């Protein structure tokens, strides 16, 4: 696991250990926390662009699969600092795939994103919808998908690329959750509701959506983590390389999200601001392929559980 100490990675690490896998995590701890490893998983501290470090990590055992989470993930940051995103996300994935080839690891699960799709109106996005990322983050991940496709054609590597829609929520027991990167809407709203920030700014009310604010398909991190175990099971059963959307197929607007946080946690200040660079109006997943092909069965497919668990975890963090 790369990035196994991060927000999504730590939930997958935990579920893998609980399912009986032996997990080694590579994490540079730039945004991950070693305390997020709940079952004593082995941690190799370092950067995935460091090929010597990867060699040492791969040589320390026999690995059946790599799950790759380590990446920079904030859309507006990627607009401001594109080279950092291509370096960490694209070059990082390239170095990791070179190490997989060298050390003969042939199953690969990749964290991709709905940001590969870009602006589009109409119904939910299928995996065949046109890709047209609106920002460097999405482009850095789309290039990774293309590299993976080429490598899978040329070698014995098989992969599953999971295109995450908007991941939120936390471990239902509130042991792990989103600690860093406080730019995502549900995290920001939970912080405001708990008095950790003065207000939430709505980035644009002039989108072509029912209430004018951005619409996203929020997926609970536990359900997303489950999709990774399903993907691994699929590859273990010789499944061919595939890309899957990860969302519930239902979009919520920024205003609807803020309303639900207010309902659960009380009032906080909301201000209307301009659109944010790199944002699109709506991203909603058609995830029928994930359900059918991988047998994915989500447990928390509702906004109320997502926000309840996000709030409960946020309360465990220092102010």
Report, as residue numbers or ranges, the catalytic residues.
Answer: 137
Select 141 or 216, whichever has its Cβ closest to ligand UDP: 216
Instruction: Quote the tokens at residue 239.
Output: 């499944």
Least Å from the CB of residue 3 to ligand UDP? 17
Least Å from the CB of residue 234 to ligand UDP? 26
Least Å from the CB of residue 181 to ligand UDP? 9
Q: From the list 41, 223, 279, 314, which residue makes contact with ligand UDP (rule: CB under 6 A)?
A: 279
Q: From the list 71, 96, 231, 254, which residue makes contact with ligand UDP (rule: CB under 6 A)?
A: 254
Strand bridging mode 252-253 / 215-216:
antiparallel
Q: From the list 96, 157, 185, 294, which residue makes contact with ligand UDP (rule: CB under 6 A)?
A: 185
The answer to whether 69 and 12 are in contact (CB under 8 A) is: yes
* Alpha carbons 290 and 144: distance in angstroms, whole number: 20
Q: Any contact of residue 81 with ligand UDP (CB under 6 A)?
A: no
Position of minimal CB gap to ligand UDP: 214
* Alpha carbons 189 and 256: distance in angstroms, whole number: 12
Q: Which stretch binds ligand UDP (CB under 6 A): 27-35, 117-125, 150-158, 199-207?
A: 199-207
Q: Which stretch binds ligand UDP (CB under 6 A): 20-28, 53-61, 198-206, 227-235?
A: 198-206
Q: Any contact of residue 105 with ligand UDP (CB under 6 A)?
A: no
Q: From the list 65, 66, 67, 75, which residue makes contact with ligand UDP (rule: CB under 6 A)?
A: 75
Q: From the list 48, 170, 190, 202, which residue makes contact with ligand UDP (rule: CB under 6 A)?
A: 202
Q: Any contact of residue 141 with ligand UDP (CB under 6 A)?
A: no
Query: Between residue 142 and residue 171, which ones bind ligand UDP under the rule CB under 6 A?
Result: 166
Q: Which stretch binds ligand UDP (CB under 6 A): 45-53, 122-130, 178-186, 295-303?
A: 178-186
Q: Any contact of residue 193 with ligand UDP (CB under 6 A)?
A: no
Q: Which stretch binds ligand UDP (CB under 6 A): 55-63, 147-155, 180-188, 290-298?
A: 180-188
Tell me which residues touch ligand UDP (CB under 6 A): 75, 166, 183-185, 188, 200-203, 214, 216, 254, 276, 279
């Amino acid at each position: 696991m790369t990035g196994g100490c991060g927000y999504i990675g730590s939930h997958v690490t935990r579920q893998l250990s609980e399912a009986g896998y032996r997990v080694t995590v590579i994490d540079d701890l730039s945004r991950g926390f070693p305390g997020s490893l709940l079952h004593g998983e082995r941690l190799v501290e370092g950067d995935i662009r460091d090929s010597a470090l990867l060699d040492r990590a791969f040589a320390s055992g026999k690995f059946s699969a790599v799950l790759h989470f380590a990446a920079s993930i904030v859309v507006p940051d990627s607009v401001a600092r594109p080279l950092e995103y291509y370096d960490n996300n694209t070059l990082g994935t390239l170095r990791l795939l070179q190490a997989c080839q060298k050390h003969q690891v042939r199953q690969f699960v990749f964290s991709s994103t709905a940001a590969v799709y870009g602006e589009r109106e109409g119904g939910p996005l299928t995996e065949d919808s046109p890709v047209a990322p609106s920002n460097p983050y999405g482009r850095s991940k789309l290039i990774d998908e293309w590299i993976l496709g080429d490598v899978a054609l040329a070698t014995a590597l098989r992969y599953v690329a999971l295109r995450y829609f908007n991941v939120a929520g936390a471990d239902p027991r509130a042991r792990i959750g989103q600690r860093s990167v406080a730019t995502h809407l549900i995290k920001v709203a939970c912080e405001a509701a708990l008095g950790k920030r003065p207000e939430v700014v709505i980035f644009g009310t002039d989108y072509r959506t029912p209430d004018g604010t951005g619409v996203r398909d929020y997926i609970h991190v536990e359900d997303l983590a489950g999709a990774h175990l399903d993907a691994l099971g699929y590859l273990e059963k010789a499944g061919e390389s595939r890309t899957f959307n990860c969302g519930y197929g239902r979009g919520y607007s920024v205003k609807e999200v803020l309303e639900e946080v207010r309902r659960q946690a009380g009032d906080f200040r909301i201000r209307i601001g301009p659109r944010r660079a790199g944002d699109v109006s709506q991203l909603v997943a058609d995830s029928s392929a994930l359900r059918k092909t991988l047998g994915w069965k989500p447990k928390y497919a509702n906004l109320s559980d997502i926000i309840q668990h996000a709030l409960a975890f946020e309360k465990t963090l220092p102010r």
